[in-house]
Amino acid sequence: MDTPQGQPGRHAVLHLTNQPGQVQQAESAVVQSLEALHYPKASVFAVRLALHEAIANAFRHGHRNLPPTTPVLVEFDCSPSRVEIIVADQGPGFDPHSVPDPTAEENLERGSGRGLLLIRSYMAEVEFTAPGNRLRMVYARPASA
Amino acid sequence: MSSQEPRIRVKRADGVIHVEFVDRNILDEGNIQAIGEQIAALVDAEQTPKMLLSFANVEHLSSAALGQLITINNKIRARQGQLRLANIDPQIKEVFHITKLSKLFQIHDSTADAVGSFA
């Protein structure tokens, strides 16, 4: 893990391959940083879920036609008031506006397509950089927490 | 076929299959697939399955797990069976509300409430 600046573990750049252990390691690193900053349980839940969905989408969709050893970049920066996460894959990208609304009646029983909805629901800022293979998201700590 | 390690605990009472999850975190896609296969085997063994899924031990759950629950629900409905969910952590319950899957599934606060709701 690279910790180029700030307190150890609160800012890190990771290069993950598609193995459960590596994805779990990234999630644990962020969770530990949030717990060290005394984020409430609900915040830790939200950030972990959004991170998990972002990494899962990167491998499942972005890297669908790439070798499984192709790394996804995950960068996070945790401060007492916000958490910024970047997840970048090496795939061709996608148009985030083209994803069908999974909450529409006709899509409710579809087996997939909810990851982006969850990310948008929990995160204060969500933006994709063209061509859509780099996601930047920010979690804002609730004022009362 | 994925891992044969049990990912669920099963008991039967009054015609209802009670299923509890072994994992606190239902995130890993391999585990989710194994859960789906193990529950599917239970459903396939019943003519009209009545199944209660208890999330008492579960702290995290991904969208892939939600997809697997939809598959299970469809499988049970295809056999004119009934599925109930219970004992869901408030944060996970919020995930069901965000995705509007709370409209698709019958969710109960407790095992007793869920058992009492079977027709």
- For chain A, the domains span 11-140
Average pLDDT over residues A31-43: 96
Q: Which residues of A touch B74 (CB under 8 A)?
A: 109
ipTM greater than 0.90 = yes
Bridge-based pairing of strands A72-78 and A11-16 is antiparallel
Position A144 pLDDT exceeds 80? no
- pLDDT at residue number B5: 87
Among A52, A53, A109, beta carbon nearest to B70: A109
Write out the residue range of the structural domain in which residue B110 sits. Answer: 8-114
Q: Which residue has the tokens 């390691």?
A: A25
Q: Is residue B35 included in any domain, yes or no?
A: yes
- pLDDT at residue number A9: 60
How many separate domains does chain B show?
1
Q: Is residue B3 included in any domain, yes or no?
A: no
Name beta bridge partners: A12: A76
Sheet holding A134-140, edge to edge: A11-16, A72-78, A82-88, A134-140, A125-129
Among B62, B70, B95, beta carbon nearest to A56: B62
Position B80 pLDDT exceeds 60? yes
**In CATH terms, is domain A11-140 a member of 3.30.565.10?**
yes
Q: Is residue B15 included in any domain, yes or no?
A: yes
- pLDDT at residue number A145: 67
CA distance B111 to chain A (A): 24
| Burial bucket for residue A22 (CB in 10 Å: 0-12, 13-18, 19+) | middle
Q: Is residue B91 included in any domain, yes or no?
A: yes
CB-side neighbour CA atoms (13 Å) of B23 = 17
Q: Is residue B69 included in any domain, yes or no?
A: yes
**Closest chain B CA to residue A102:** B99
Confidence of residue A100 (pLDDT cuts 50, 70, 90): very high
Judge: A48–B60 Cβ closer than 8 Å, yes or no.
yes
CA distance A22 to chain B (A): 11
Listing DSSP states for A105-117 in one string gives: GGGTT-SS--HHH
Q: Is residue B2 included in any domain, yes or no?
A: no
- pLDDT at residue number A3: 47
Position A19 pLDDT exceeds 50? yes
CATH number where B60 lies: 3.30.750.24
**Closest chain B CA to residue A23:** B28
Judge: B104–A48 Cβ closer than 8 Å, yes or no.
no
From CA A111, how far away is CA A140, in angstroms rounded? 30
From CA A118, how far away is CA B97, in angstroms rounded? 11
> Would you tell me how many other CB atoms lie within 10 Å of the CB of residue A18?
20
**Closest chain B CA to residue A47:** B60
CA distance B16 to chain A (A): 24
Torsional sign, CA A59, A63, A69, A75: negative
Q: What is the mean pLDDT of chain B?
A: 95
Q: Is residue B94 included in any domain, yes or no?
A: yes
Q: Is residue B1 included in any domain, yes or no?
A: no
**pLDDT tens-digit profile of B17-58?**
999 999 999 998 899 999 999 999 999 999 999 999 999 999
Residues 6+ apart with CB under 8 A from A56: A23, A115, B29, B62, B63, B64
Position A34 pLDDT exceeds 50? yes
Q: Which chain B residues touch A if contact means CB-CB below 8 Å?
A: 27-30, 59-60, 62-64, 66-68, 70-71, 74, 91, 95, 98-101, 103-104
Average pLDDT over residues A93-105: 94
